[in-house]
Amino acid sequence: MERTLQGKAALVSGASRGIGLAIARRLAAGGARVALVARGAAPPEDMPGAIAIAADLRDGEACARAVAEAVERLGGLDILVHSAGATQRGDFLALDDAAWADGYALKLFGAVRLLRAAWPHLRAAQGNAVLIAGVGGRVASADFTIGGSVNAALMNLTKAMADRGVADGVRVNCVNPGSIRTDRLTGRIATLAKERGLDMAAAAAAIAAETGVARFGEPEEIAEIVAFLAGPGAGYIQGAILDADGGWVRAV
Ligand SMILES: NC(=O)c1ccc[n+]([C@@H]2O[C@H](COP(=O)([O-])OP(=O)(O)OC[C@H]3O[C@@H](n4cnc5c(N)ncnc54)[C@H](OP(=O)(O)O)[C@@H]3O)[C@@H](O)[C@H]2O)c1
């Protein structure tokens, strides 16, 4: 693999599993020194130079603390990737304020706080940030009101920070995954299976059919895109919102 990220320092949130872990692995394989941040972040044995920072990013101060620790231990920060997110699905009338506050605290305010803390370092390094949102921000659905609105907000935040980044020399881009094979998707399949009395395979097929895709994506496929956006080949890509959804979104 080409080591296009050699010498770069990267912080990846939500990196204890799923998409975030795949991103951390891919950035490390590209030569970056990576800080993996999550509540259950563990020191990865197979990622030389990587460090783990355990943090609950819903906590107002935790984002700044995680950035400060990453900067100190990695010696700077060139790349910020925010992949932590855990918004609750369900009937709108069954979602209380706590569910909304929780979803926003981690995914939207986490992005805001990580960007605010990381920005001076990204500016100093002329680096970049990639936010992981989701196609639910484009395609609204009645059972995804929290995640959908958070993702839409993240897309707007991407454009706003990219606007600022033009002056500061920081690129900011966004990736919208479709349905990607992680614990999060497995949980969703299990819920649907229970609701409709289906087995897991039939529930998975129902989700694929309803979203019009031939298959689910793999975390590594999202990681590949992030590595590109964070690397030198994407030097003129600013404020892009890239759907990686197997064709789910048909609208222009
Ligand atoms: N998978 C999909 O199909 C899909 C589709 C569209 C968008 N997305 C988005 O992509 C992102 C990653 O999804 P995923 O499927 O990889 O999810 P996942 O497998 O559930 O992983 C979520 C990550 O976020 C971390 N996290 C959760 N709560 C946290 C907290 N309070 N503080 C810090 N970290 C926390 C988790 O670590 P700990 O539990 O150890 O803290 C974990 O590393 C999310 O924003 C999700 O909405 C995913």
Domain ranges across the chain: 9-178+217-243
Q: Whose CA is nearest to atom 23 of ligand 1?
A: 14
pLDDT of residue 119: 99
pLDDT of residue 44: 82
User: Which pTM was predicted?
Assistant: 0.98
Bin 151: left if φ > 0, else alpha if -120 < ψ < 50, else beta. alpha
Of the chain, the end-to-end C-alpha distance in Å amounts to: 34
Residue 227 has pLDDT above 90, yes or no: yes
Q: For the chain, give the mean pLDDT.
A: 97
Which architecture, in CATH terms, is 9-178+217-243? 3-Layer(aba) Sandwich (3.40)
Q: Which helix (H) or strand (E) holds 65?
A: helix 62-74
Confidence of residue 43 (pLDDT cuts 50, 70, 90): confident
Residue 33: phi and psi, rounded to 5, are -90, 125
Q: Which two tokens stand for residue 87?
A: 């918004």
pLDDT of residue 92: 98
CA distances from 142 to 14, 93, 94, 149, 237 (A): 26, 10, 12, 11, 33
Maximum CA extent, the chain: 55
Q: Which atom of ligand 1 is nearest to the CA of 85?
A: 45
Cα of 132 vs centre of ligand 1, distance in Å, is: 10
Q: Taking each helix axis from N to C terminus, what angle separates 109-125 and 145-168, rounded to the nearest 10 degrees?
A: 20
Residues at CB less than 6 angstroms from ligand 1: 14-20, 38-40, 55-58, 83-86, 106-107, 132, 134, 177, 179-180, 182-185
